[in-house]
Structure 1
């Protein structure tokens, strides 16, 4: 630390070496110290490889546990374990892998002596120390051996057996895996004792469980065939326990004594089995795990060691089993204490390492902080001016960015508003074109008709000119409203108010609507307690406001309804209310009643849209207010409030003019709207006309009624009902209709198989190609735009009906041919299937057929007549005849059978009917056809 500070103080900006390079070098040095100080865990110095024959039994697991316990005192050793799973070939491969990994020492517990010997010798020859544990190999080329003497194990078991049987008796021996050194040595030692005592007879030596074979069946048979067997020597405790189970099942477990080998502690191990009396004794065979590790450590550390490490064995029976259990318990407790102490030591070691690392980290951090502080001071002094300039530039740029963002947001808002306004205006002007087209059509069509005729009657001329005048006034009023709207948008609308009698002014307006109210049987009244009321107002503008409100009231009030105008004064203000009990408004329509470009209405009305918006503008020019309350189905109330006096008006807004602007009220003189007298003529078809404009609907009825039967309706819902009721020959409909529009009506007509055959002609003011395509997709046969030529309309109607008749004739060429129209094809297929299903029923006629088809008798008759130009009975007869001809030619049935099968009441009637239609009797028809 001191040298670092001296190094920093030795350099400064005035020296020849740059300070930043010096500090960078010091930082690298500090980081090196930090990482070198954090290395707390010791490196592994040695690697020991351990090849175990198997870890499936507890004895070998105990060996591995004791090895790891001893290795806890040698943390510098890396221990690699390989489990051969009782397979010699696999053990050889695993030992080769350990050799390839260049282990420093190799511990081998052979599965079998012969297979493992070559690889153990090779490791030994390569200079790798080799320790053989438990079982020996077939060679003496190893560094050390650790294990008990298996020959001595066999001798100890034999001596104890001789003692138990007192030198006389029959025995059975159960060995280890055949060919293992343990099996050979233990059997040899056991045999030495038996040979020394001839009265001890070994009945048979059985092999232990190996290669998926079990000795239990063989032992069971042996005990049954030799009931005088007195003792079993099993070369391990696992085998001994299985032998005990065999004896227990045979009921000889108290007679036959069993000696095992291993003497491990734990449940169902040798010591526990002796203590529970299941085994008579067990020979303690130590695992040698600790001894093997101690020998390996001595070899690796070049210390002295024994080449042959013989482990002591002892016999455990009922006399010493209690002491052995207690001793093992103590050993387990001591081992637990050792492990606990080891854990404490590891905890203290980690704590020490952590504290040491913390100290190193603190020292290095202080050094880094000192270096960084020095560097920061240097940078601050040398770059302070640059930072100030940069800060000023950043501040300027931030202000510019804020301005740009504000402008961007403002542009986005304006753009959104402009987009919405443009869309609404485009929609608004599309409706204007529709509103203008209707009165133009009703002006042009009668005019062209009059010009096309050489002679015109007085009644027809007066009626046509009346229609032209009425729609010219309507068009003029629409133009005036558009001009007023333009002035309002431009801010050029001026108020010219004068003091006049408001009661008399309103009374005159109500009188103008008198005839219209009388014709519609509407209760029209002016309700007020005032005889006169002087008010300053602009006559022209207030006249337009009241006219619009009255027109809307008449438009939405049904016949027999009421329209009342009420006038009173409240708080120096006059209140005018227009009250009706018409259809009312929805909450959404009420909210946007005075919006000019409101797009929420499903069917836009120009006079209502412009009229209410202009009315609000005109009332606000008077410093007044206009509001509306309404409920769907319960009428509407418009309320106007105007201030009394003239203090609220500017001098330029006062005028002395008192004339009233005259507004044309649409009245319908009964004489003018009467249908023209028609010449008696044969009607060529029935047409349903759906048109909401009264004048145009009346004109179409008059003009087309001379040639066709006309059924007229004002909306699509009523029109659909009349279509189903009459099944007409043709339908003429407008697109813009209240409620369900013409497109929806056409789709319903074309998708219902009862009406799908009827041609539909659309009559509309929409001229765009997209709208024509939409109408065609809906199923319209012809699309005619307004204003239209009456002659063209008549010729279109005639041609369409003529094409329908040609189609009927084509259908009539066969009984029930296929139609190109899907709905017509469905109807004809269903009709054919029903007739063929009941063809053998003589009582099956029109009544049953209509019920099966789900139609009335009249609807079925008109549908079949429209498609096939035949009545239903003719179709039934023709299908029966067709079936009869088929049976006559394709079968050998007699005439009576065919008559019954085709639904004729008797063979005589069948023969008569057949001859009337075919010209031959059934028998003659069959003979002629067969001979031909």
Structure 2
């Protein structure tokens, strides 16, 4: 009974809490054929892995070796609604279109085992058949100690796995000339076909030392034929697959039917892991090549034990799930029992003997509840005490910060006064005018933040007193507008006052309302583009005067509107550079007037703030009213605090017609125009500078200009700096460019996250410019050193070592392979390479120049001459034949460039090699 009571108590406590359920996914798996053991194992691995991920469903379809059927099955899965498709294509070409269509619909596609004829898929998982054959050949060569006779039993003629395994096998045996391949037969992947072929050629089996079959099924049939013919059991038989279970390669090696089997992993588990990474928006590799290993008597028992342990763990999982279901049944049963007990207790009241027992039980329960109630009360008191201490500590910190902020005003004043004197000095202004104006603007910005913080603390402590007077609201607004006219006219912004209906005399505190109007106008100027409009409208409605501040700027989303008046709120969508205090303070100041402030906005269409103030004076107390004579403060003593921020520095465009073109270029991405101008000015004497004020524009500039280095702020409009870095480092066109991240996020976790986004350097604000400059020069210097070191003699090995990440390595390997494959084509051009790799001609030139420090034509010519040099040294071809074999149209031209490269003609070189 106590267990049931505890269970219900826990259920009651947890039932009210919000439960965050894991998102459910539906994965479709289209298999070309599912009848053989290898593909059944693939499906079992997927189901095993999915059993660890509750909520994810698998929709499976077997095409039974029919491409048209497989296409129809994939279409049905898409219609049913799947989140991701895993497909093992029956044939590459017929299945390409449906895979591309699925990918283009935004559904991730994982291709497993066999590829299609297109690169439009999300990820590929599969083993490399060439490597399987090569490992089998190396194993046989080692076991035969470098000499012997072997026979190869291959799969279906013309199938890519059979061709690649055969190539890998023969390439491995080329290194051992004493090992001879006496015969090659096709078993078509089937055991009965293998037996027929081997019995037809039984004479070739007499002197054989080893037989390599392309799968374990054919290898098993090979062993049967050998036993039937009475040949020695010492003949080694090697298969491929090494599957677990009955009839699998592991058991065949274990019972010595097969000498060894090369593991050909199905990739089922890996496919599900990658699928979940894709669905959960985690990083993943597009190409996932599975590793293989030879299973023989030395390690087969270990592999069987591992597989048995996996099966055991899977059984445990299934048993735990069964136990969980049983527990739910027990729970329902106990609930019924509890109801029955309650009914029984009610009936037991009739019986005197049971009533006394029930009374004792109730007393025990009451004592237990009293103890628990006392414990809960103590805990509540402790929480209250801790909360009060935390609130007191927070208040002390805020008071300290407010006092410090108040002390800021004195040094700020002492900075402003000498600074204004320096700006009046024409000699100093000429030498450092732009820097002084930058300091001047940011001192006023800091002063505004200090004033806002102090005003807000006064409101929190109810020390902000209202001194309202009767005023002409229209004249008041006009005077404020005059302060912003200059900033608006410089940007061709239409700033005007529209009086719909005169409100007459309005009671308000001019020293408070001016802060609100100043803040709203300052925000409107900040978020309104050049040539825009800002209208202030005044009208009356139901005993209130309405002041509308309307602009046609960037606007806000619904999410931003919900929090726009929250304290310290900053939009993550607009990346506002404000403190998040101005609008919150404005709302509190309007509430002091017994008024209200609201906002309406649409993204990219504009924003309207509406202030509603009560007319008359009945809503004000006597303490909140003041005579005009008592209004001693100047009405607009803070004009400069709000308008200086919008003063734009005069742009001194330099005449760059005869300016020396710099060797290196830098792209700077920063939304703060002052900081962008500052960095541009500091770096433009040494580097070619490109700029962008949003992450989206910065990404486009990076792809177009391919700079030598990028400096970007983390928080910029559009794409964030970290996402931009990840995109550029993951793109073949820009992966080689060093990137420096600038940010105000200075915690260790944020710095680690920045480096994990693939940035080269992470610098926190405020930063020392010399430190930034040293990092810039160091990154560019290291890039130049790498290019000079590795491009001194361009070769295929040099190409592989120059790249410092996987994307660059793959790009250069593809580039070298395309060039090598087309050396004999005299019409081979840069355009052909661009089309093959999939990037523009200009981007290809810049990428090769950045990685190899040479032009593409020089690289191709160098490879042709190296190839010709090899032919001259090792092959019996004439000079004319070699000329056309390396893609050079004229023997005379070939002789000239060969001599320029190696200091002798091809004929002289050949004679020297012969001697």
Question: Which TM bucket (shorter chain)?
Answer: 0.5 to 0.7
Matches within 5 A, 1:398-547: 405=376, 458-529=429-500, 533-547=504-518
2:895 corresponds to which of 911, 916, 919: 911
> 1:743, CA displacement in angstroms?
0.7
1:62-98 CA-to-partner distances (Å, cap 9, x unmatched) read xxxxxxxxxxxxxxxxxxxxxxxxxxxxxxxxxxxxx
> 1:724, CA displacement in angstroms?
0.5
- Does the alignment pair 1:761 with 2:721? no
Q: Which residue of 1 aligns with 2:277?
A: none
> 1:489, CA displacement in angstroms?
2.8
Q: Which residue of 1 aligns with 2:781?
A: 802
Moved more, 827-836 or 653-662: 653-662
Structure 1 residues 556 and 491, CA, compared in 2 at 3 Å: closer, same or farther? same
What SS does the aligned partner of 2:690 have? strand
- Does the alignment pair 1:660 with 2:635? yes
What SS does the aligned partner of 2:581 have? helix
Superposition TM-score, scaled by structure 1 size: 0.53
1:890 corresponds to which of 855, 874, 880: 874
For 1:418 and 1:597, the matched residues in 2 are separated by: 23
> 1:404, CA displacement in angstroms?
6.2
Q: Is the 8 A contact 1:584 1:630 kept in 2?
A: yes
Structure 1 residues 486 and 676, CA, compared in 2 at 3 Å: closer, same or farther? farther
Question: How big is the alpha-carbon RMSD for the aligned residues of Structure 1 and Structure 2?
Answer: 4.2
For 1:626 and 1:670, the matched residues in 2 are separated by: 30
> 1:583, CA displacement in angstroms?
2.0
2:519 corresponds to which of 540, 545, 548: 548
Q: Which residue of 2 aligns with 1:694?
A: 673
1:596 corresponds to which of 545, 559, 567: 567
> 1:568, CA displacement in angstroms?
1.1
Matches within 5 A, 1:134-149: none
Matches within 5 A, 1:511-660: 511-529=482-500, 533-598=504-569, 601-602=572-573, 605=576, 607=578, 609-655=580-626, 656-657=630-631, 659-660=634-635
- Does the alignment pair 1:924 with 2:898? no
For 2:378 and 2:594, the matched residues in 1 are separated by: 36
Q: Is the 8 A contact 1:681 1:706 kept in 2?
A: no
Larger radius of gyration: 1
Q: Which residue of 1 aligns with 2:764?
A: 785
Superposition TM-score, scaled by structure 2 size: 0.54
Q: Is the 8 A contact 2:553 2:607 kept in 1?
A: yes
- Does the alignment pair 1:868 with 2:868? no
Matches within 5 A, 1:78-227: none
For 1:413 and 1:925, the matched residues in 2 are separated by: 94
Q: Is the 8 A contact 1:499 1:536 kept in 2?
A: yes
Q: Which residue of 1 aligns with 2:662?
A: 683
What SS does the aligned partner of 1:666 have? helix
Q: Which residue of 2 aligns with 1:710?
A: 689
Q: Which residue of 1 aligns with 2:13?
A: none
Length, aligned pairs only: 538
Structure 1 residues 882 and 414, CA, compared in 2 at 3 Å: closer, same or farther? farther
For 2:844 and 2:350, the matched residues in 1 are separated by: 105
Q: Which residue of 2 aligns with 1:179?
A: none
Structure 1 residues 708 and 601, CA, compared in 2 at 3 Å: closer, same or farther? closer
For 2:349 and 2:773, the matched residues in 1 are separated by: 104
RCO comparison, higher one (Cα < 8 Å, 6+): 1
> 1:843, CA displacement in angstroms?
1.0
Structure 1 residues 601 and 865, CA, compared in 2 at 3 Å: closer, same or farther? closer
Q: Is the 8 A contact 1:552 1:608 kept in 2?
A: no
- Does the alignment pair 1:726 with 2:709? no
1:674 corresponds to which of 639, 642, 652: 652
Q: Is the 8 A contact 1:811 1:867 kept in 2?
A: no
For 2:567 and 2:513, the matched residues in 1 are separated by: 19
For 1:469 and 1:370, the matched residues in 2 are separated by: 88
What SS does the aligned partner of 2:534 have? strand
Structure 1 residues 840 and 467, CA, compared in 2 at 3 Å: closer, same or farther? same
1:877 corresponds to which of 861, 868, 877: 861
For 1:371 and 1:466, the matched residues in 2 are separated by: 95
1:199-229 CA-to-partner distances (Å, cap 9, x unmatched) read xxxxxxxxxxxxxxxxxxxxxxxxxxxxxxx
1:297-326 CA-to-partner distances (Å, cap 9, x unmatched) read xxxxxxxxxxxxxxxxxxxxxxxxxxxxxx
Matches within 5 A, 1:824-863: 824-863=808-847
For 1:649 and 1:709, the matched residues in 2 are separated by: 63
> 1:756, CA displacement in angstroms?
0.7
> 1:524, CA displacement in angstroms?
1.1
> 1:732, CA displacement in angstroms?
0.7
For 2:645 and 2:583, the matched residues in 1 are separated by: 22
For 1:496 and 1:396, the matched residues in 2 are separated by: 61
1:795-836 CA-to-partner distances (Å, cap 9, x unmatched) read 322222111111111221231421232121111111101111
Structure 1 residues 526 and 600, CA, compared in 2 at 3 Å: closer, same or farther? closer
What SS does the aligned partner of 1:688 have? strand
Q: Which residue of 2 aligns with 1:122?
A: none
